Amino acid sequence: MKRLHYKSLSLHQKIELIKEVDCGGKRKDIAAKFGIPQSTLTTIYKCKENIITCLNDAPNLKVRKRLRTAKNLELDKAVTVFINEAREKNVPLTGEIIKGKAKRFSDLMNIGNFTGSSGWLSRYKKRHGLKWKCLAGDSAGAKLTVAREWMQQYCKQILSEYDASDIFNGDETGLLYRCFPGKSMVFDNDNCKNGKRAKDRITIMLCCNMSGSELLKPLVIGYSQKPRCFKHVKSLPVEYHWNKKAWMTTRIFEKWIIELDDKFQKENRQVAFFFDNCSAHSKQIQCHLSSITLHFFPPNLTSVLQPMDLGIIRSVKAHYRNEIVLNLISEIENNSPISKISLLQCINNISKIWEQKVTPEIIQNCYRKAGFIECLSVGSEDSTSLSDGQQNLDYLCTLNHDNSNPIFQNYVDVDSNLTISPFLTDEELVQSITKCDNNDVEITETSILETSVPFVKHQDAKNSIMTLLTYVEQSENVPKHIFTHINEIRCFLNC
């Protein structure tokens, strides 16, 4: 038997080797393909989790052949989270700042004999591919140039390995779900950190694939585990979580992504998921995933690279605000008192809009605008909802004898700067790294409790669906799918 010469594989080659083993290939054939002994393949595969974690932290180091690990992984992770958050906020960093922050973290973690020396910083830079660069401002042109380079050097190869239906992007947004047009619009660009109006907010995670063929169930984060409006409610069209600030946390993200990975595993799919560098988006969870490969946008470039930020989320908010305006018009025309929007109503509206109003064309246009789909022409965003919303808002002002001429786009963007994840202090960052999460303390103040939903009997539901069927039958030009949906509900109710 011919003796194989020693061969050192790059981290990128090791990732490819691991993928082939995971796909069920024969280890003997895979080892021969990469020109290494089978024993070396086994050794590489045993280090699978460390290799994946290393490349998640520094995806530009694929050409490296040696896997360098830190002496203290928790300290290393804390420094990495700090650097990512600083760059997201355009905070310039120096070596002294990083060394000082690392010393602070080591003290909080009770790590003895750590001095934050220049040697430690040099090793950290090599492990993570950290380089010093001149900051060239935050112009749109500079962002686009860096974004194109990242898309060509890193993202293009990933996209070539997956079908469009298996490439996903997800992002969170804050929503002031009870915000009415008018006086409430003075909250534009408010961080909403304190005060009563902060208690009328939620955080929503929206995810969809590049082809627009699959929109995942929205994830909604509220303040209370069991709001009054959820009384008698046993099923929701969204996935609901809660914590005392209604923020996305590492714990919620990890639970959600693991459950999603189980779903794709049952479907025998391998998918790529793109996220921003929010501190709640845990990179270390990758080692627990078998069907999802996580990829992260470069810091400070999500505004030009993330499809969800290029029109998809704004489309959902535009339709949601339009629903509020239409409900106000209806109540004013019927001389009814202005009703308070419940969290359950908000959830049902978000689910309806996500499933019915966000079309594959809108999604594909936003992915194309981000550079995921190579095409010379870039489609427009969902401008229809904005124009319709402006007309309805103008009519609402007429009913209210209001001559202020509010702009619907400003109403849509009223909560664009809401905080959706914690701005971590040093203590909180260390707690998040060491898995000490005390955020899940239910709020019980009466100011955020809502009216409970009355219990509906089974026979009442049957009567309602039959009444709806009669109404549809008496209407003209009803699409076939309406009857299909009604028949599905009738089967569910056994009527």
Q: What is the pLDDT of residue 456?
A: 84
Residue 488: pLDDT band by 50, 70, 90 thresholds? confident
Residue 435: pLDDT band by 50, 70, 90 thresholds? low
Does pLDDT of 208 surpass 60?
Answer: yes
The type of residue at 135 is L
CATH architecture of residue range(s) 11-61: Orthogonal Bundle (1.10)
Residues facing residue 172 across a β-bridge: 205
Contact 355, 316 (CB under 8 A): no
221 φ, ψ (degrees, to nearest 5) = -120, 120
CATH architecture of residue range(s) 73-128: Orthogonal Bundle (1.10)
Domains of the chain, by residue range, sit at 11-61, 73-128, 158-412, 456-495
DSSP character string of 193-219: -SSGGGGGEEEEEEEEETTSS-BPPPE
347 vs 148 pLDDT, higher one: 347
Distance CA 469, CA 461 (A): 12
pLDDT, tens only, 114-173: 888 888 888 888 777 776 665 544 445 556 777 888 888 788 888 888 999 999 999 999
| Two structure tokens written together for 87 | 């760059």
Distance CA 297, CA 170 (A): 12
Distance CA 257, CA 166 (A): 15
CATH architecture of residue range(s) 158-412: 2-Layer Sandwich (3.30)
pLDDT, tens only, 284-338: 888 899 999 999 988 778 888 999 999 999 999 999 999 999 999 998 888 888 8
> Do the domains spanning 11-61 and 158-412 agree at the CATH topology level?
no
Contact 205, 252 (CB under 8 A): no
Q: Rounded mean pLDDT of the chain?
A: 81
pTM: 0.72
